[in-house]
Structure formats: structure tokens, C-alpha cells
Amino acid sequence: MGSEKIAFDFDSMEWQNITIDQVKFFENCYPDVDVVAILTKRMPAWLMSNPQKARKKNWLRFINNWLSREQERKA
């Protein structure tokens, strides 16, 4: 997977260092979830709306936890 740590850029409201392979991996792990839509729309909107909760040390865990909850809701 990616060698650089995943980060969220609050200026551009975009993820940094997420590779295509990581996105494909997430899509395989969470087949009922629209991973791209969540990464590009829902997560940035939530992070912007919740700045007090938005500073994370482990973004990969944040992403996996979110996608896991979405998968459980869809099942």
C-alpha cells in the first residue's frame, strides 16, 4: 500500500497520499459502500462541520472505521 501516511488537507478539503490501490482495497473490503463518494463528499463535509473532532492522529483508522460502519448499515 502507500508508503506515506494518509492525511487530510483542510485547505483544499482533500485527502493526501491515498493511492488507487488503497481505494480498490477499501472497495473490496466494503462492497456495499460507495467508497469514492464517502471519501470525496461525505467525509470532507463531516470534517468541515466538526472541526473540534476533525484532528486525527490515525486517518487510516478513521477511514476504516467509517467504511465499516457504512457496510454494517447496508447489510
Please give the model's pTM, rounded to 2 decimal places: 0.89
What pLDDT band is residue 14 in, cutting at 50, 70 and 90? Answer: very high
Mean pLDDT, range 6-32, rounded to an integer:
96
What pLDDT band is residue 1 in, cutting at 50, 70 and 90? Answer: low
Give tens-digit pLDDT for 22-72: 999 999 999 999 999 999 999 999 999 998 888 888 999 999 999 999 999
What pLDDT band is residue 2 in, cutting at 50, 70 and 90? Answer: low
* Cα–Cα distance for residue pair 1/21, rounded to 1 Å: 7
Give 2's contacts (C-beta < 8 A, 6+ positions apart).
17, 18, 19, 21, 22
